[in-house]
Structure 1
Amino acid sequence: MRSLPAFPDLRTFLDWLEGRGELVPIRDPVALRHEMTAVQLACLRRGGPALRFERPGIPVVANLFGTPARVAAGMGLAPDQVADFGAFLAALRAPAPVEGMRDALSRWPMLRAALATRPRIVAHPPAQQERLPDLTALPVQTPWPEDAGPLITWPVVITRPRDSGPQDLARYNLGVYRMQVIGPDRAIMRWLAHRGGAAHHRTWGAEPMPIAVALGADPALLLSAALPLPETVSEVGFSGVLRGARTELAPATTVPLMVPARAEIILEGWIGAETAPEGPFGDHTGYYNAAEPFPVMQVTAITCRRDPLYLSTVTGRPPDEPSVIGAVFNTLALPTIRAQIPEICDVWLPPEACSYRMAVVRIDKRYPGQARRVMMTLWGMLPQFSYTKMIVVVDGDIDIRNWPDIIWAIATRMDPARDVMLIDGTPMDYLDFAAPRAGLAGKIGIDATNKTGTETTRDWGRLMRLDPGHEARADEILARILA
């Protein structure tokens, strides 16, 4: 399935990018406060390369996944292989019964992927070659002018529940939660209540919870931590599938956890009952979010590789790096969505809608009321659509990645009184200040499909189409006279 080599760490991925002209050093001094953000976003919006800022002290790597091609490469894939890999992952999650020896042998790639989910424990990890004195040694950005302070933006946060041990790797949670640095050995961990890290923290009660943070992990581990995986799927194991090789882990030096052996930097520590106001910070919505209390991490050790790299990103109004990653994840998730709702042909989560607050769904419509059924199934059955507050359902002839097509379908196939479904009091993104109550809001479904059967009492419009032969003749004439 993979067409690229396995990337066991960030450095091998950067070497591969550099060989393709996709990594550029910046040797001019660039300020960590605000200025680096401007450079990153300008590069991303030009479809530019990954960047390595050489002059903050420890080099800063940014815009790593600034194009869909680099996101795919982080999974070992060419861009046109992402959809097929998504189908493979859907089959890996729910494989069909084996039918004979030939069928069993044909599934060797699936078996190999399953074996790659078993981590390998190493004794002398590169991530523990050296130590840093405290958090002030890290080149942490302050991204936006009204941000409350320095913000760690690409941390892979590692936790486990109270009733587990350090070796219970299947029960680990890996998540990406931003961290506000508030002192040499203290940082605020911003995780929302529904996230895995917060759920683990609750299991520890009044007892401090061990925690570790990998900065500059390999691309497969980074993307696994960012994916909205089901709760039953281990991010550690899933990263082995993405990488095409087993994840290497090692015991942390001061806390009872296993940590990525090849990360650039590892923060170790504990989280107890202490909280501190986090924010405000600019967020993926394009607005500053309000300051709220979140738990404080007490750092007990910072280990690193020799000559470490610091990986950073910036979130803001799309396009930003998270929205680029989200577009690829959309393609990756489609086969799993279709396995559960077969009449869905395609789903698009527009990056302009923060990559999750709106969905446009193309269906193979066969009966009245089908569009509403699809909407309710998406909201109620698939957790990744819990915060999607608008769903537009269209027919198979609509290009769902083309806004003019979408608007035309809404304008010509939707009646506001008949085809709009409103629901109140449903879960919503805590950051959505448009919601009248924090964490609770309404949802809207728009049926922009052709109406059939009992959905209408009127004759439905007939679609205008030219003869394909005439269109081909027109192309031939224009190619000749406009050449």
Structure 2
Amino acid sequence: MRTLPVFPDLRAFLDWTESRGELARIPDPVPVRHEMTAVQLASLRAGGPVLRFEAPVLDGGTRSAIPVVTNLFAKRERVAAGLGLTPDQVPGFGAFLAALRSPAPVEGMRDALSRWPMLRAALSTRPRVLSRAPVQQVEAAPDLSALPVQVPWPGDAGPLVTWPVVVTRPHGSEPAQVVRYNLGVYRAQVIGPDRLILRWLAHRGGAAHARSWARAGEPMPVAVVLGADPATLLAAALPLPETVSELTFSGVLRGARSELVPARTVPLLIPAQAEMVIEGWVHPGETAPEGPFGDHTGYYNAVEPFPVMRVSAVTHRRDPLYLSTVTGRPPDEPSVIGEVFNDLALPVIRAQIPEVRDLWLPPAACSYRIAVISIDKRYPGQARRVMMALWGMLPQFSYTKMLVVVDDDIDARNWDDVAWALSTRMDPGRDVMILDRTPMDYLDFASPLEGLAGKIGIDATTKIGTETSRDWGQVMALDPIHVERAAELLARRGLAR
């Protein structure tokens, strides 16, 4: 399946991008406050490369000796490459992951041998524990002010760590039980040289682990990994089931076993090949007001209390890199990653809802607020059944407030096609389903209640059986033979595009 090399660390991936002309070094001094954001977004919207800022400028005018790497996954091709794939291989890899989750029974020796790639992937989830690691070449005193942490937007409350992979485990687990670990990408606000605010929402794994430690009345060990390898970054960002550990799953994405090392001051295993790790503790009930910060909605979020992490150590490579990103109204780097994850998740969705032919989460709709689904429709009411199944399938879809279901002759990723289906196959009085007081991302300021909002499902499919009492119109289409001949004629005359 993999056609690209294994990337054991961030540097290997950067070397690969540079060999392809996909990395640009910026020697100019660029302030981490606001100006770096402007450069990142301008480059991303021009389809630009990975950026390496060689002379980031901290507040006060001091130049940091730590280069800042941004826009790592600002193009679909680089997101796929982080998975070891070309873009056209992503759907096939999604089908493989779906089979890995629910493998079919083995039928004979030949079938068993054909599944060796699946077995190899399963073995890749078993980590290798090292005694020494690059990420611990230097152990520094906790001083987060020395890091080139961005202040992305003018209304932001302060420095914000934007690509942290936060490692936690539940109370009652052992450090060696990595299958019980959770990796999450949570916003981390710097509020002092040895203090961070970790913004994890209540439904996320890190928050669930924190509750388990709080119930026991004990502080929770936490590690914030900066500059992890691509597979670890993408595994932490994937909406995996709660029973799947992102740390072990990263081995499947990487195509090689994860390498871990015991943290210095907290009882956790951490990625050995990362650039930096911030270690510390979250004490029960200790919170601080987080925000406001610019978010993926294109608005600043409200100020709310979130847990404080007391930093106990910072370890890093001798010449570390600082990985950063910017979140805002799409297009941004998270929305590009979301587009690829859309294709990766489609086979998993089809395994649960077989009639689904395609699903598109428009990036402009904050990557998940709207979904368009094409189905192979066979019976009345099928579109509504698909809506209910999708809303209840994964926690992430509970935040999708508009679903549009179309037939499989409609390109679900083409707004013109979808608009035609809406205008010719949907009646507002019959084909719109409204739900009230359902779970919603509290960052949705349009919702009347924080965390609760309505949902709308629109059936823009052809109506069949008892769904209509009228004869349905026939879609116009030319004979394919004539279409082919027309293309040949125009090509001969040099008129084809």
Whether 1:222 aligns to 2:233 is yes
CA distance in 2, matches of 1:196, 1:297: 16
5 Å-filtered alignment, 1:471-482, equals 471-482=483-494
Whether 1:112 aligns to 2:112 is no
Q: Which runs of 4 or more aligned residues in structure 1 lie more than 6 Å from their structure 2 counterparts after TM superposition? A: none
Whether 1:72 aligns to 2:84 is no
| Letter of the structure 2 residue corresponding to residue 227 of structure 1 | L
Superimposed CA distance per residue, residues 290-319 of structure 1 (whole angstroms, 9 cap, x where no aligned partner): 111101111010000010000000000001
Per the alignment, residue 284 of structure 1 pairs with 296
C-alpha RMSD over aligned residues = 0.9
How many residue pairs align between the two structures?
483
5 Å-filtered alignment, 1:78-477, equals 78-133=86-141, 134-205=143-214, 206-272=217-283, 273-477=285-489
Deviation at 1:165, TM superposition (A): 1.2
Deviation at 1:229, TM superposition (A): 0.2
Deviation at 1:381, TM superposition (A): 2.6
Secondary structure of the 1:145 match is: coil
CA distance in 2, matches of 1:382, 1:315: 23
| Letter of the structure 1 residue corresponding to residue 41 of structure 2 | L
Per the alignment, residue 59 of structure 2 pairs with none
CA distance in 2, matches of 1:202, 1:66: 35
Superimposed CA distance per residue, residues 394-448 of structure 1 (whole angstroms, 9 cap, x where no aligned partner): 0011011110100110011000010000001111112111111111111100000
Secondary structure of the 1:80 match is: helix
Per the alignment, residue 37 of structure 2 pairs with 37
Superimposed CA distance per residue, residues 222-259 of structure 1 (whole angstroms, 9 cap, x where no aligned partner): 00000000001110111000000000011100011111
Deviation at 1:167, TM superposition (A): 0.9
- Give the gaps of 5 or more residues in structure 1: none
1:62 to 65, 70, 85: 70
| Letter of the structure 2 residue corresponding to residue 49 of structure 1 | P
Secondary structure of the 1:374 match is: helix
Deviation at 1:322, TM superposition (A): 0.3
CA distance in 1, matches of 2:477, 2:94: 34
Deviation at 1:482, TM superposition (A): 4.7
CA distance in 2, matches of 1:119, 1:481: 61
Secondary structure of the 1:281 match is: coil
CA distance in 2, matches of 1:383, 1:274: 27
- Give the gaps of 5 or more residues in structure 2: 57-63
Secondary structure of the 1:299 match is: strand
Deviation at 1:171, TM superposition (A): 0.5
| Letter of the structure 1 residue corresponding to residue 187 of structure 2 | R
| Letter of the structure 2 residue corresponding to residue 154 of structure 1 | W
Deviation at 1:465, TM superposition (A): 1.1
Secondary structure of the 1:25 match is: strand
Deviation at 1:197, TM superposition (A): 0.3
Identity %: 76
| Letter of the structure 1 residue corresponding to residue 90 of structure 2 | V
| Letter of the structure 2 residue corresponding to residue 96 of structure 1 | A
CA distance in 2, matches of 1:293, 1:477: 67
| Letter of the structure 2 residue corresponding to residue 228 of structure 1 | P
| Letter of the structure 1 residue corresponding to residue 211 of structure 2 | R
CA distance in 2, matches of 1:109, 1:65: 26
Deviation at 1:468, TM superposition (A): 2.1
Superimposed CA distance per residue, residues 83-109 of structure 1 (whole angstroms, 9 cap, x where no aligned partner): 110000001111001111111111110
CA distance in 1, matches of 2:290, 2:133: 33
Deviation at 1:380, TM superposition (A): 1.6
TM-score by length of 1: 0.99
Per the alignment, residue 22 of structure 1 pairs with 22
CA distance in 2, matches of 1:223, 1:447: 34
Secondary structure of the 1:288 match is: coil
Deviation at 1:364, TM superposition (A): 0.1
CA distance in 2, matches of 1:386, 1:238: 24
| Letter of the structure 1 residue corresponding to residue 83 of structure 2 | M
CA distance in 2, matches of 1:294, 1:31: 28
Deviation at 1:288, TM superposition (A): 0.6
Secondary structure of the 2:357 match is: strand
TM-score by length of 2: 0.96
